Amino acid sequence: MKAVQVLFDEALLARLDADAEVRAKGRSAVLRQAASEYLRRRRARGTAEAYRRAYGASREGVDDEYAGWSGEGAWPGK
């Protein structure tokens, strides 16, 4: 692991240090967990945004492209 320096205002640091999980696991462990969770959420938001851009609500051209095919499919045995 590599040591890093992070600045917190005194009130936030006091709230952090008063937390039971921080006291049990240690400040560094909780901040590592928070950073990991932040990056996971950020990646999930990026993936969701990419899907929205690629497959968004716009169906422009899609209905025309597949026009006439809706009656071609059939379930087996029916």
- Chain segment 32-45, per-residue pLDDT in tens: 999 999 999 999 99
3-state secondary structure of 66: coil
In whole angstroms, give the CA distance from residue 27 to residue 18: 10
More confident residue, 62 or 3: 3
Inform me whether the pLDDT recorded for 76 exceeds 80.
no
pLDDT value at position 74? 73
Query: Which carries the bigger pLDDT value, residue 72 or residue 8?
Result: 8
User: What SS3 state is found at 44?
Assistant: helix
pLDDT in tens, 4-59: 999 999 999 999 999 999 999 999 999 999 999 999 999 999 999 998 888 876 66
